[in-house]
Amino acid sequence: MRKAPAYVIISLVFFIFIGVGFAYSYFFYPNDHPIDCAIKAATGKDCPSCGFSRAFSNYTHFNFTEGKIYNALSWPVFLFFSFQFFLRGNIVFYFFKTRHLISKHFIIAELIISISFFLFAFLPLLLKF
Mean pLDDT of the 32-42 span? 75
Residue 40 binned pLDDT confidence (cut-offs 50, 70, 90): confident
The answer as to whether 89 is a domain residue is: yes
Query: How remote is the C-alpha of 61 from its chain's centroid?
Result: 16
Q: How confident is the model at residue 66 (pLDDT cuts 50, 70, 90)?
A: very high
Residue 1 lies in a domain: no
| Per-residue pLDDT tens digits for 2-17 | 677 999 999 999 999 9
Amino acid at position 120, single letter: F
Residue/partner pairs of 86-94 with CB below 8 Å, 24 or more apart: 87/11, 87/114, 88/11, 88/12, 88/14, 88/15, 88/18, 89/15, 91/7, 91/8, 91/11, 92/8, 92/11, 92/12, 92/15
Predicted local confidence at residue 33, as pLDDT: 66
CB atoms under 10 Å from CB of 42, counted, come to: 9
Is residue 98 included in any domain, yes or no?
yes
Q: How many domains does the chain have?
A: 1
Flag whether 113 is in a domain. Answer: yes
Q: What is the extent of the structural domain holding 17?
A: 6-128
